[in-house]
């Protein structure tokens, strides 16, 4: 039988970007001699189903597309719905709706999965800057979100922007995405930290690169500060959800303090050596460290709340609903937007 692979996309009111992504996915060719059955799954997190017209334009393409609406606002609910829809596939590939897959991307990712035998394969994301972006964006790696690593390197975490996940992973680590991160991001970090903790192998593939369109709003220093804060806070909250207790609080406090101290070191080196890259690292590390400290008391930056509005009723474990970072409970497993898996509690 063919190996079934689903490419999962969640989207919210970005029709032009979604159209570009779907066109690039439909142009992908499979590895020579390989027997894969590939399909695309689009989860629209807009109750008005604004993605439907875009998806309809790809009827009859190389790969079939399934599109559904997840009306509960928030990234974790859309991601969880995508897992539901891909439950019987051998693997699912997460990509973002603001990305474009270059020729050969899919074949490279699948070949890396075959040859490595890994449970998860993830690759780099290269940011395409808009015209007129401030100069610091060009010499910083801030928009290349996953860094550079040698192919085959085993990692402790991954993100859903360019990652293949084997079925045994999402059948074991379930539910996947916690509502505490409804508007903040980091639900994918929390998921993959749990994946690594469960003993699954996460392997890097440097050649499986995908491109991301960077909007002008993400080329400002104020955005850099907010993103660094949110990343630090999300990391702390993730680790406290996974392993609550005094030991974890001590560890995240030590990590946050180390980030702040290293930021001071980078700042001094940048000023003495005249290196702008060091100064940027100092800014990122400082506010990441501050965010890590804020995460200890459950404070995070709701980066996506403005786009979604204030809609969405609080659910158990949702920080905005007062659940607190230490609450390990997910939403009621009978709640429609949450996958109805046998194990409906986080570890």
Q: What is the pTM of this model?
A: 0.84
| Cβ contacts of 26 within 8 Å, gap of 6 or more | 58, 61, 62, 63
- Signed CA dihedral, 26, 42, 206, 87: sign only: negative
User: What's the pLDDT tens digit per position in 227-263?
Assistant: 889 889 999 999 999 988 899 899 999 999 999 999 9
Alpha helical stretches, state H, 303-342: 305-308
What pLDDT was estimated at residue 185? 81
Binned at pLDDT 50, 70 and 90, residue 296 comes out as confident
Q: Are 325 and 244 in contact (CB under 8 A)?
A: no
Distance CA 161, CA 140 (A): 19
**pLDDT(305) > 70:** no
User: What's the pLDDT tens digit per position in 11-30?
Assistant: 999 999 999 999 999 999 99
User: What's the pLDDT tens digit per position in 130-171?
Assistant: 998 998 888 777 787 666 788 999 999 999 999 999 999 999
Instruction: Domains for the chain: give ranges and CATH numbers.
Output: 3-217 (3.90.550.10), 221-307 (no CATH)
Number of other residues whose CB lies within 10 A of the CB of residue 128? 13
């Amino acid at each position: 039988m063919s190996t079934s692979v689903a490419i999962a996309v969640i989207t919210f009111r970005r029709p032009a970007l979604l159209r570009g992504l779907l066109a690039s996915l439909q142009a992908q060719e499979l590895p020579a001699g390989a027997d894969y059955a590939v399909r695309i799954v689009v989860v629209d997190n807009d109750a008005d189903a604004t993605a439907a017209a875009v998806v309809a334009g790809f009827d009859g393409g190389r790969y079939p597309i399934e599109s559904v609406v997840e009306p509960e606002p928030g990234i974790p609910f859309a991601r969880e719905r995508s897992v539901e829809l891909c439950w019987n596939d051998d693997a699912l590939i997460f990509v973002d709706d603001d990305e474009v897959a270059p020729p050969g991307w899919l074949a490279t990712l699948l070949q890396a999965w075959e040859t490595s035998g890994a449970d998860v394969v993830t690759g780099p994301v290269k940011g395409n800057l808009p015209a007129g972006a401030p100069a610091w964006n060009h010499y910083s790696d801030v928009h290349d979100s996953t860094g550079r690593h040698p192919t085959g390197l085993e990692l402790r975490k991954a993100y859903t922007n360019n990652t293949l996940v084997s079925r045994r992973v999402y059948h074991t680590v379930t539910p996947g995405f916690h509502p505490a991160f409804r508007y903040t991001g980091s639900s994918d970090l929390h998921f993959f930290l749990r994946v690594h903790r469960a003993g699954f192998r996460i392997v890097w593939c440097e050649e499986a690169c995908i491109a991301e369109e960077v909007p002008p709003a993400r080329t400002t220093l104020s955005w850099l500060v907010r993103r660094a804060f949110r990343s630090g806070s999300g990391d702390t909250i993730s680790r406290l959800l996974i392993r609550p207790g005094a030991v974890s609080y001590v560890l995240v406090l030590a990590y946050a303090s180390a980030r702040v101290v290293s930021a001071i070191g980078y700042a001094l080196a940048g000023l003495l050596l005249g290196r702008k890259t060091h100064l940027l690292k100092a800014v990122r590390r400082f506010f990441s460290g501050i965010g890590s400290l804020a995460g200890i008391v459950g404070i995070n930056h709701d980066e996506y709340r403005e786009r979604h509005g204030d809609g969405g009723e609080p659910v158990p474990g949702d920080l905005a609903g007062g659940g607190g970072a230490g609450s390990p409970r997910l939403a009621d497993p009978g709640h429609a937007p949450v996958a109805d898996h046998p194990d409906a509690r986080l570890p």
